[in-house]
């Protein structure tokens, strides 16, 4: 059985007054670079310990999502007709991609594709969160169990996502000053909410709650760790943004010359494969890191003592010199000050 990732060191509490009953202790303070480094190391060990599982999970959910995101028109890229007309409007969810329907590379309306991408992301996060939570405690990580947990977790994630859904409508607002202002405002909104709500998805999956409860839990757990959550969000968001900017637009018209045969198609195929693999890897590590950071924040608030006790109190282990002898019971003793 794989050993669980190490928890961040906690600062010992001050000596309590002997005649005063112990109240709820405040969360342990830990510098946010140390917390972030510990979460990153635990994420790397967790994925490496279950490499085959986390290789199969992106193949089923994240690779189709990454390919769909690369095929969708990105606000980071210029519109296809921007070279012919300097005043051409940017891509909007209200209008088709091109006036001529024969030039439209997308087989479905853009809002439906965006909704499909959102549902794929939530389903992938539900499966990755269930796997990361099981692997964090050293439990067996099974692909079938992670996939079976998707329907219930997907519903909880969708209900939890509703308070942040109005941010997706910001790019639809008529903002004539700049074609990318709406997308910039939406990105700014997510950046401002990440130090408060970034752990809501992990709380919804692990604690089986929905609605405002995961949002309140995220705000409470991130008390003292907001800079770590903000920096983690910015790192993965920047990686995804750079990948979409460098490899996006694979379905745009004029990206390849069909008359040139394989010589004209090869650069587009290589671009799509490399971008899809890199984007799926970034999203996978981002999801697992989010759950690991959630568990580290719970440890800083002293919430994992009971779970660790229940997890390992009845575990049987063999000592190296006890071959052929009886098993030993590992007991956890809590010493109160």
The total domain count for the chain is: 1
User: Which 3-state string (H, E, C) describes the chain?
Assistant: CCCCCCCCCCCCCCCCCCCCCCCCCCCCCCCHHHHHHHHHHHHHHHHHHCHHHHHHHHHHHHHHHHHHHHHCCCCCCCCCCCCCCCCCCCCCCCCCCCCCHHHCCCCCCHHHHHHHHHHHHHHHHHHHHHHHHHHHCCCCCCHHHHHHCHHHHHHHHHHHHHHHHHHHHHHHCCCCCCCCHHHHHHHHHHHHHHHHHCCHHHHHHHCCCCCHHHHHHHHHHCCCCHHHHHHHHHHHHHHHHHHHHHHCCCCCCCCCCHHHCHHHHHHHHHHHHHHHHHHHHHHHHHHHHHHHHHHHHHHHCCCCHHHHHHHHCCCEECCCCCCCCCCEECCCCCCCC
What pLDDT is stored for residue 58 in this prediction? 82
Q: Which residue has the higher pLDDT, 162 or 21?
A: 162
Residues 51-77 have a mean pLDDT of 82
Read off the pTM: 0.74
Residues 28-38 have a mean pLDDT of 83
What percent of the chain shows pLDDT beyond 90?
32
Q: Residue 214 domain-assigned?
A: yes
Domain range for 317 is 32-79+103-329
Q: Residue 3 domain-assigned?
A: no
Q: Residue 311 domain-assigned?
A: yes
Q: Residue 13 domain-assigned?
A: no
Q: Residue 210 domain-assigned?
A: yes
- Minimum mean pLDDT range among 7-21, 185-199, 240-254: 7-21
Q: What is the pLDDT of residues 205-235, one digit of tens each?
A: 999 999 889 999 999 999 888 999 999 999 9
Q: What is the pLDDT of residues 240-281, one digit of tens each?
A: 989 988 887 665 544 555 566 666 677 777 888 888 999 999
Q: Residue 37 domain-assigned?
A: yes
Q: Residue 261 domain-assigned?
A: yes
Q: Residue 84 domain-assigned?
A: no
Flag whether pLDDT at 314 surpasses 90.
Answer: no
Residues 168-179 have a mean pLDDT of 62
């Amino acid at each position: 059985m794989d050993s669980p990732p190490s928890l961040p060191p906690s600062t010992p509490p001050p000596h309590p007054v002997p005649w005063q009953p112990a109240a709820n202790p405040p969360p342990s303070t830990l510098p946010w670079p140390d917390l972030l480094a510990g979460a990153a190391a635990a994420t790397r060990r967790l994925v490496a310990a279950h490499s085959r599982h986390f290789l199969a999970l992106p193949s089923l959910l994240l690779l189709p999502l990454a390919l769909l995101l690369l095929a969708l028109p990105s606000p980071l890229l210029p519109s296809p007709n921007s070279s012919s007309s300097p005043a051409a409007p940017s891509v909007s969810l209200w209008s088709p991609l091109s006036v001529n329907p024969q030039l439209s590379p997308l087989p479905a309306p853009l809002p439906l594709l965006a909704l499909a991408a959102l549902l794929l992301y939530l389903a992938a996060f539900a499966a990755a969160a269930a796997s990361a939570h099981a692997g964090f405690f050293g439990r067996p990580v099974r692909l079938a169990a992670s996939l079976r947990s998707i329907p219930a977790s997907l519903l909880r994630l969708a209900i939890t996502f509703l308070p942040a859904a109005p941010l997706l409508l910001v790019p639809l607002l008529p903002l004539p000053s700049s074609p990318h202002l709406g997308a910039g405002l939406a990105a700014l909104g997510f950046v401002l909410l990440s130090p408060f709500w970034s752990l809501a998805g992990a709380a919804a999956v692990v604690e089986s709650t929905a609605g405002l409860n995961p949002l309140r839990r995220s705000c409470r757990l991130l008390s003292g760790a907001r800079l770590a959550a903000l920096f983690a969000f910015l790192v993965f968001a920047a990686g995804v943004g750079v990948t979409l900017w460098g490899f996006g637009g694979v379905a745009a018209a004029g990206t390849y010359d069909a008359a040139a045969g394989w010589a004209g198609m090869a650069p587009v195929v290589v671009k799509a494969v490399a971008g899809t693999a890199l984007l799926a890897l970034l999203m996978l590590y981002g999801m697992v890191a989010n759950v690991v950071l959630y568990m580290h924040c719970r440890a800083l608030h002293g919430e994992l003592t009971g779970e660790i006790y229940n997890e390992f109190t009845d575990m049987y282990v063999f000592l190296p010199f006890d071959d052929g002898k009886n098993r030993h019971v590992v007991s956890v003793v809590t010493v109160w000050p």
